[in-house]
Amino acid sequence: MSPTAYSFPVPVQKVLSRLPSYPGSILFVAGLNLALARHLSPDTLRLLDGKKLRIRAKDAGVGFDFVWRDGSFSAARHADETDLAISASVHDFLLLVQRKEDPDTLFFSRRLVMEGDTELGLLVKNTLDSIDLSVFSPTNFLPGRLFRRKAG
């Protein structure tokens, strides 16, 4: 598949890139804390402690800055310098989350870019690779009554 097969239209990217990143980072870390934080090992959390991270969706023109501190992910304001920045298109991030594409393949084809602390990048990659995707199922963190099966 071509790396440019799916991308945000330029007018949408221009609008999104003008939005302040901090409110988006707050929403992003809320999702991380709800769906991911409890599944991370204490060793991983110790290594993440105080590290400034950035996830950037290049084609959407948005980025989220955050840090693990005091037992949860927190949005970071004005993170000029990060320990690790990970960039890809929204489509490539979706492929990664769905495990339809390997991070190494995206990295070597330059569709996934990691900048900063190499060891931290490997920790993040290996940690995400080791997590069972079912932890991201909405039934794990939303009220069960929203997902009842219909009888019959």
CATH 3.40.1160.10 holds for 10-130: no
What pLDDT band is residue 149 in, cutting at 50, 70 and 90? low
The per-residue pLDDT for range 89-98, each reduced to its tens digit, is 999 988 888 8
Encode pLDDT of 35-45 as tens digits: 889 889 999 99
Provide, rounded to the nearest whole percent, the portion of the chain with pLDDT above 70. Answer: 84
Whole-number pLDDT of residue 141: 59
- Does 68 score more than 80 pLDDT? yes
What is the secondary structure of the chain as a DSSP string? Answer: --TTSS---HHHHHHHHTS-HHHHHHHHHHHHHHHTGGGS-HHHHHHHBT-EEEEEETTTTEEEEEEEETTEEEE-SS--S-SEEEEE-HHHHHHHHTTSS-HHHHHHTTSSEEEE-HHHHHHHHHHHHHS-GGGG-GGGTS-GGGGPPPP-
89 Cα distance to chain centroid:
12
Query: Are the CB atoms for 136 and 130 separated by under 8 Å?
Result: no
- What does the pLDDT read at residue 1? 46
Q: How far apart are CA 14 and CA 30, in angstroms?
A: 25
CA 20 – CA 26 distance, rounded (Å): 11
pLDDT at 132 over 90: no
Average pLDDT for 15-42: 90
Q: Which of the two residues, 86 and 17, has the higher pLDDT score?
A: 86
- The pTM of the full predicted model, rounded to 2 decimals, is 0.82
Tokens of 53: 């991270």
pLDDT at 13 over 70: yes
